[in-house]
Structure 1
Amino acid sequence: MRVITGTAKGFRLYAPKGTETRPALDQVKEAVFNILMNVEQFDVLDLFAGTGSMGIEALSRGAKRCTFVEKSKVPVEYIYRNVKHCHLDDRAQIMMLPVDAAIRKMAKMNQKFDLIFVDPPYLKRLVNATLFQLEKAELLADDGLIVVEHHPKEPIDEIPGFTLTDQRAYGQTLISFLGQAVEKNQLLQQPR
């Protein structure tokens, strides 16, 4: 697992052994960032951050800052280690909280994010629950985008206020892109 491009290009990311985290595969991460346009100056939120791979990639590509949310101590230690190793710790905020508690806390602070990564453990019924919480909390900026990594057996429900703008399959992984309104969303590359 490595940073694909940007200021931390080529840096290897540390990950714990075992099954506590499921880091985004380089192939999936690269595909996501090839679909996204420039993320420079974006405020990014990485939910169920694991080792921080997606948020670190965004920071490396010029995101203004990234808030990482992870509830477990061991993965949080790896996020700290990885952002420091990649020299990105000055733009990283790490919250060791359950995702639902972090969403409530950020909503009270009226935070808005241009890009939100959602990568919960597969088949735990967390995808739609998290999306409904995000919609209620209004954390997504008006022209922001949510990128969800999930299992095909856990499809995304219709969620008032969000529109599914794109979906791609990579083996047993689906990547779904949601925005507040298709016509307002400028983050996806236009077809060539």
Structure 2
Amino acid sequence: MRVIAGRLGGRTFEDPRGHRTHPMSEKARGAIFNALGDIDGLTFLDAYAGTGALAIEAISRGAKSVLAIDVDIEAVKTMSASVKSLDLRENITVLRKNISGWSRNNQHKKFDVVLADPPYDDIRPDVIERLGVHVQPGGIMVLSWPGNEPVRELSELETISHKSYGDAQLVFYRKFQ
């Protein structure tokens, strides 16, 4: 995999092939960060982090910090190795946790941006809804959702845009002030 832009643009890192992750396309990753615009100094939660591509891209483009969470041990090992090889351990914290349990036990933790790219074969709408509590007022949540599913409305979050990319769609939400 490749970092698209920012201070690490062009650098490569590994992905845990053959596991439960479904790496997001470069086009979709680029679309997320182009839509977000200037992210200098922002904090991110990367739920279902998988390869860590979104976390790494965020730091490359100026984010202050990212908490990257995934339950798959191979994904976490590979992501941790990538974070180390790119010298991002001060900016990216990698946790091997079930996002549902982590969210339930850490409702007080807030982020400027929450990224959620769940495995499409195991989406739990209740968990996606719960992730909204981690968005700061005025902050953004980006959800990668199956392209054949209707856009999901979330309480406390306003849908601001959505766009399809192959078999996926990206839905952008803003937390009410």
Superposition TM-score, scaled by structure 2 size? 0.94
- Residue by residue over 1:43-86, the C-alpha shift from the partner in whole angstroms, topping out at 9 and shown as x without a partner, is 10000000100011001111110000100110001111111122
- The 5 Å alignment of 1:127-166 reads 128-135=125-132, 138-166=133-161
Unaligned runs of 5+ in 1: 185-192
1:34 CA displacement: 1.1
For structure 2, the residue ranges without an aligned partner over 5 or more in a row are none
Q: Select between 57-66 and 145-154 the one with higher mean Cα deviation.
A: 145-154
Which residue in 1 is equivalent to 2:119?
A: 121
Amino acid at match of 2:98: P
Residues 27 and 157 of structure 1, relative CA distance in 2, 3 Å threshold? closer
What does 1:16-55 align with in structure 2 at a 5 Å threshold? 16-55=16-55
User: In 2, distance between residues paired with 1:91 and 1:19?
Assistant: 25
User: Per-residue deviation at 1:3?
Assistant: 0.5
Asked if 1:78 is matched to 2:73, the reply is: no
Give the RMSD, CA atoms, in angstroms. 1.4
Quote the offset at 1:19 in angstroms.
Answer: 4.1
Distance 1:155 1:97 in 2: 28
**1:69 alignment partner AA:** I
Contact 2:19-2:74 at 8 Å conserved across structures: no
C-alpha distance in 1 between matches for 2:75 and 2:122: 19
1:62 aligns with 2:62: yes
Which residue identity lines up with residue 153 of structure 2 in the other structure? Answer: E
Structure number with higher strand proportion: 2
SS for the counterpart of 2:154 is: coil
Structure 1 ranges of 4+ moved more than 6 A = none
Asked whether the equivalents of residues 20 and 119 of structure 2 are also in contact (C-alpha less than 8 Å), the reply is no
Distance in 2 between the 1:17 and 1:134 partners? 27
Contact kept, 8 Å, 2:44 with 2:112, in 1: the verdict is yes
Q: What letter is aligned with 1:77?
A: K
Q: What is the distance in 2 between the residues matched to 1:73 and 1:125?
A: 19
